[in-house]
């Protein structure tokens, strides 16, 4: 709305609260806590919390159809039988999946305090980011194979096909982007954002680590019980690492390396050695 002609401009003198700051400061501690809880529910409802609910329903669906050991879960499926429409849908899916990340970065940003620096989502400490990231990837990678093998042997895990994409010139780049998407989405929200907000609610560090790990496991339930257990363990390790470094970037690096190895490795060598046929 345009200002009335001749009206004197409103000046906010130093020390005089604006409407925005007055509203924020007028919130009682109870109202502030309720606002944070509502914010968490909205963020998770738009992202990984929603995925967790769908994963539970999908697991129940699978359990009522046949034994999990007799079923297959395909990651990175074909979205269209025409090459360039498939590529378009794949890229759109990656792009829109990252919108909640933009949202939480916006929510965590405060005047004079960057959300990127707040959760350590920067490359300001490459030795820690890449050194710890590679170490975590090696540790989790070996453990994941063990948990998957145990889950298959016990009949509580589906056969997982890391990628079902057709072989095009863009297949490997899209799989790398997909791996980066998963790494950024999960680590920024499940660790960086959630740790910050639950700490503001007064949760203890162990409780935050466990809650984050259970959330991570929940949205992998569609793959079976084994991946749920494996991802909970991964969440406990990642959560502890975050509390020690206050940096989410090593976790993003580790997660990206794990997914790139799984997705691209299967795309290049899986069919050649008869896996997934």
53 close to 61: Cβ distance less than 8 angstroms: no
Write out the DSSP string of 26-37.
T--HHHHHHHHH
**For residue 149, what are its two tokens?**
């093998």
Q: State how far Cα 180 lies from the chain centre.
A: 10
Please return the burial class of 213, using the count of CB atoms within 10 Å of its CB with bins 0-12, 13-18 and 19+: buried
Q: Helix crossing, 99-108 with 83-97: angle to 10°?
A: 20
Strand partners, 53: none
Per cent of the chain over pLDDT 90 is 82
**For residue 102, what are its two tokens?**
């933009």
The model's pLDDT over 212-240, given as tens digits with 9 standing for 90+, comes to 999 999 999 999 999 999 999 999 999 99
Please return the burial class of 270, using the count of CB atoms within 10 Å of its CB with bins 0-12, 13-18 and 19+: middle
98 close to 186: Cβ distance less than 8 angstroms: no
Q: How confident is the model at residue 28 (pLDDT cuts 50, 70, 90)?
A: confident
Helices (H), 17-168: 19-25, 29-46, 48-63, 83-97, 99-108, 115-118, 126-154
Q: What is the dihedral of CA 44, 114, 94, 151, to 10 degrees?
A: -60
Q: How confident is the model at residue 11 (pLDDT cuts 50, 70, 90)?
A: very low
- The pLDDT, as a whole number, for residue 166 is 87
Q: Which residue has the higher pLDDT, 2 or 182?
A: 182
The model's pLDDT over 175-216, given as tens digits with 9 standing for 90+, comes to 999 999 999 999 999 999 999 999 999 999 999 999 999 999
Whether 67 shows a pLDDT value over 60: the answer reads: yes
Question: pTM for the whole thing?
Answer: 0.87
Alpha-carbon distances of 13 from 17, 18, 110, 196, rounded to whole Å: 8, 9, 21, 32
DSSP 145: H
Residues contacting 229, CB < 8 A, separation 6+: 147, 151, 217
- The pLDDT, as a whole number, for residue 64 is 96
Give which of 193, 182, 201 is closest to 239, Cα–Cα: 193
Whether 70 shows a pLDDT value over 50: the answer reads: yes
The Cα–Cα gap between 102 and 91 comes to 17
- The pLDDT, as a whole number, for residue 10 is 40
**For residue 74, what are its two tokens?**
């395909």
Whether 71 shows a pLDDT value over 90: the answer reads: yes
Residues contacting 171, CB < 8 A, separation 6+: 163, 165, 267
The Cα–Cα gap between 275 and 86 comes to 23
Give which of 273, 232, 225, 229 is closest to 60, Cα–Cα: 225
- The pLDDT, as a whole number, for residue 26 is 56
């Amino acid at each position: 709305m345009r200002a009335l002609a001749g009206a004197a401009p409103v000046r906010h003198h130093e020390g005089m609260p604006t409407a925005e700051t007055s509203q924020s400061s007028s919130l009682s501690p109870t109202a502030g806590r309720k606002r944070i809880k509502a914010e968490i529910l909205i963020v998770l409802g738009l992202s990984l919390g929603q995925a967790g609910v769908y994963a539970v329903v999908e697991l129940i669906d699978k359990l009522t159809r046949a034994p999990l050991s007799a079923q297959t879960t395909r990651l990175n499926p074909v979205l269209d039988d025409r090459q360039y429409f498939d590529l378009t849908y794949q890229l759109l899916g990656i792009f829109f999946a990252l919108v909640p990340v933009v949202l939480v970065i916006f929510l965590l940003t405060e005047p004079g305090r960057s959300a990127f620096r707040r959760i350590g989502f920067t490359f300001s400490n490459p030795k820690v980011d890449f050194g710890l990231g590679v170490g975590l990837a090696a540790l989790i990678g070996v453990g994941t194979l063990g948990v998957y093998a145990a889950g298959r042997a016990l009949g509580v895990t589906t056969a997982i096909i890391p990628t079902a994409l057709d072989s095009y010139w863009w297949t490997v780049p899209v799989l790398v982007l997909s791996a980066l998407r998963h790494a950024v989405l999960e680590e920024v929200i499940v660790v960086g954002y959630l740790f910050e907000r639950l700490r503001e609610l007064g949760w203890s560090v162990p409780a935050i680590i466990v809650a984050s790990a259970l959330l991570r496991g929940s949205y992998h339930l569609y793959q079976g019980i084994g991946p749920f257990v494996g991802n909970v363990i991964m969440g406990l390790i990642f959560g502890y690492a975050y509390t020690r470094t206050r940096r989410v970037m090593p976790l993003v690096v580790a997660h990206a390396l794990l997914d790139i190895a799984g997705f691209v490795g299967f795309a290049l060598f899986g069919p050649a050695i008869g896996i997934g046929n």
